[in-house]
Chains A and B, each alone.
Chain A
Amino acid sequence: MNILIIAVAVMAGVGLALGIIIGIFARLFRVESDPRVDLVVELLPGANCGGCGMAGCSDFAKAVVSGKMAPSKCPVSSSDQVSAIAQALGIEAGEAFKQKAVVLCGGDREQTMRLASYNGIIDCVSASLVAGGPKGCTYGCLGMGSCARKCPFGAIEMINGLAIIHKELCVGCGTCVAVCPRNVIKLVPAEAEVHVYCNSPLKAPAKRLVCKVACIGCRKCAKAAPDKFLIEGFKATVDYSHTPLPTAEDVVAAACPTGSLLTAEEHLQIEKHDPDWSAEKK
């Protein structure tokens, strides 16, 4: 019985002594933290995506508090969340410029030829190092889902050998843009509804040989809606710096002969339901 009491007493004594020492040191070496940083971190969505260019949400919060960055630079926050942060700190919210990522390729399994059977690691970077990847087009989406696995928001779905970015989930953090070895993912203004789903700068015969939906640079879209489209080399692109951006009416007016000019909605429908959609349309 005696032993028990001694043991408990010794343990309690040691605990008390250590507790006092810790208490003293905690006072002595206390680090002052700005309570505003914690406040901002709490108000942020906390995705830790790095889309703002900082290492993470707490880094961004420090930058906002110190005035180096505007709260609107967080691509994930909604405008309400941004203004909440601005109000809490009593600063300007800054101008928001929302971007979304889009995969500029319509070459799914049916549309684009596979020139070889690839049986290596299922990863786009690895595949692109083996003879440029199995896909006939060396500029299009490889379809192995490296971007989908990296997306912090689960916004990318692999459908039919093609990465499709769901606009409502995408916040435009740019993680996928950095991952893609083909540079086929682009950040575009969030309002953009119409895209030219082709990334190949090759001449029309060369790309039509391997892909049914390649843009052939026929300029029909540029004629239908001047200023809204740019012709770069042998392919058309939407002029994302021009307002207003092309609309669904422009797509109808252009009557793209290859089906590479589409609205994002149409593109999703094609890939989801009917692989022969564009062929029937013609």
Chain B
Amino acid sequence: MKSNSKDYLSFDGGIHPASDGKSLSEGSPVQRPPLLDRYRVVISESVGKPPKPVVQPGDLVKKYQLIAQAEGFVSANLHSPTSGKVVGIVEVAGAMGIPVPAIEIESDGKDEPCEPMPPLDWKTASAADLLARIGEAGVVGMGGAAFPTRVKLSPPPEKQIDTLILNGAECEPYLTADHRLMLEKPRAVLEGAAISAKILGVKNIYIGVEVNKTDAIEALNKHAADYNIYVVGLKVQYPQGSEKQLIDAVTKREVPTGGLPMDAHCVVQNVGTAAAVSDAVTLGIPLVERITTVTGDVVKNPGNWLLKLGTPVIKAVEFAGGVTEEPGKLILGGPMMGFAQKTFDVTVCKNTSGILLLPQSDSIAYDPSPCIRCGRCVAGCPMGLLPCLLGSVIEAERFDLAAENHVMDCLECGSCAYVCPAHRPLVQHMRRAKAEIRKQSKK
């Protein structure tokens, strides 16, 4: 492996944070935490229609048992993370700051699994059977959006797909969950990729990994040839793990404005999702736990944990030894695109890739000043937008001009705000404009 990452594949724009904080937790193997007394599994955690609960208060459930049934096309099943008694449906704090319903399960301490679904041999099983199994197991995209994988793997027939790209970039600073997964379970990742490729009927399978994870690349490369999968080393550049940027880096194709990856004939899947697909098919295990990085400069023992769905964030921090000082900010996900929280009552969902606690010294507010037209944000924008112009027009509430200048293509990756010497809250401006434009188009 080459030590500098200049020659590796990448996209135009983007940034590279000077210290990415990954060293805090990347050396720590995935640990299984002790069983908790109760879990609060959020029902509507995935994009689309929330599944319908199929258990009543007082019901006894086993681990892996279905507790909420998918309703409609874009919806995902939900399973019990442990064995115990259903207490009922309670309101918990959601990751977006709005209370959401959750099924509370009181653990009986046995963690007894129910009869697993029969394992399938993916090489002989039909694509329809595999797809049905993925839907049954409630697999959703574990990178962030929690989009049901069954839907992603059944693109409309008029869209021709010829490439599957697995996203192992993990470009967000601090997060190491995908890194550990690729290192510890490379076969599950590769097998999940091969299963997904079989469903899609594609031959080209790539796994894009940033070259700051050389050990993961080596681990994957040991078995990649068995599955006809190419492991692609990518330049360490944020946001390499954004699907449009990843497609650009790996295939040099561009997703048209307002389009989806399938418009560039690609499907992009997170490595965690691939591993969940593999578990669902080869072991018959539904998605009830995920690897989450619990990290930050104020966490005593930063590390990677296999957390059950519905684990309160406060408990996850306790597993990691608690905090060394009063934290300034709690973020679910990474520091660039994660969601800041106002309470520790939030629980782990299928898309909680990280729990990040920043010290108070890192949570300070800067006073924004007027744009000095230096153009650093333009150079940093991975979508080729003009954040400086957008910021100014949005400040003047000219959302029509913002739409004309393609604010809807903004990923909200935060590269522009990160490099802005005037500390302008550009991402917040973009988010406001996107919300206003969506509101207007709904009318």
A residues neighboring B (CB under 8 Å) = 115-116, 119-121, 123, 125-126, 129-134, 138, 181, 202-203, 206
- Pick the contact of A115: B343, B365, B429, B435 (CB < 8 A): B343
Residues of chain B within 8 A (CB-CB) of A132 are 96-98, 342
CA–CA, A132 to B97, complex, Å? 4
Are A131's CB and B97's CB within 8 A?
Answer: yes
A115 to B435, CA, bound (A): 23
A-B contact pairs, 21 of them (CB 8 A): A116-B340, A116-B341, A120-B425, A123-B432, A125-B432, A125-B435, A125-B436, A126-B431, A129-B431, A129-B432, A129-B435, A130-B340, A131-B96, A131-B97, A131-B339, A131-B341, A132-B96, A132-B97, A138-B97, A138-B98, A203-B91
CB of A189 to closest CB in B, whole Å: 25
Interchain CB contact under 8 A, A120 and B99: no
CB of B160 closer than 8 Å to a CB of A? no
Interface residues of B in 315-363 (CB under 8 A from A): 339-343
Interface size on B, residues (CB 8 A): 18
Taking A116-B341, A125-B432, A134-B342 as known contacts, 15 extra A-B pairs with beta carbons closer than 8 A to each other, sorted by chain A number, are A116-B340, A121-B425, A125-B435, A126-B431, A126-B432, A129-B435, A130-B97, A130-B340, A131-B96, A131-B342, A132-B98, A138-B97, A138-B99, A202-B99, A206-B99
Query: B75-103: which residues lie under 8 A (CB-CB) from chain A?
Result: 91, 96-99
In the docked arrangement, what's the CA distance between A126 and B391, Å? 13
A115 CA to B99 CA, complexed, in Å: 14
**Which chain A positions have C-beta within 8 A of B339?**
131
Q: Are B99 and A130 in contact, with the CB atoms below 8 A?
A: no
| Docked-complex contact B340 and A131, CB < 8 angstroms | yes
Contacting residues, chain B, for A133 (C-beta < 8 A): 97
- Which A residues are CB-close (under 8 A) to B429? 121, 126
Q: What chain B residues lie within 8 Å of A131 (beta carbons)?
A: 96-97, 339-342
B23 interface contact, C-beta 8 A: no
B428 within 8 A of A: yes
Leading 6 A-B pairs by shortest Cβ distance: A132-B97, A119-B365, A131-B97, A116-B342, A115-B342, A126-B432
Residues A126 and B96 in contact in the complex (CB < 8 Å), given A115-B342, A131-B342, A134-B342: no
Residues in chain B near residue A121, CB distance under 8 A: 425, 428-429, 432
Given contacts A131-B340, A132-B97, A138-B97, contact A120 B428 (CB under 8 A): yes
Residues of B within 8 A of A134 (CB): 342
A222–B441 Cα gap in the complex (Å)?
Answer: 40
CA distance A46 to B229 in the complex (A): 69
Q: A267 to chain B: closest CB distance in Å?
A: 26
B-chain residues with CB within 8 Å of residue A119 when the two chains form the complex: 365
**Closest residue of A by beta carbon distance from B346:** A131
Q: How far is the CA of A196 from the CA of B283 in the complex (A)?
A: 56
Min CB–CB distance B368 → chain A (angstroms): 8
Most chain B C-beta atoms within 10 Å of own C-beta, residue among A115, A123, A131, A138: A131
Cβ contacts under 8 Å, A116 to chain B: 340-342
Task: Give the residues in chain B near A125, CB-CB below 8 Å.
Answer: 432, 435-436
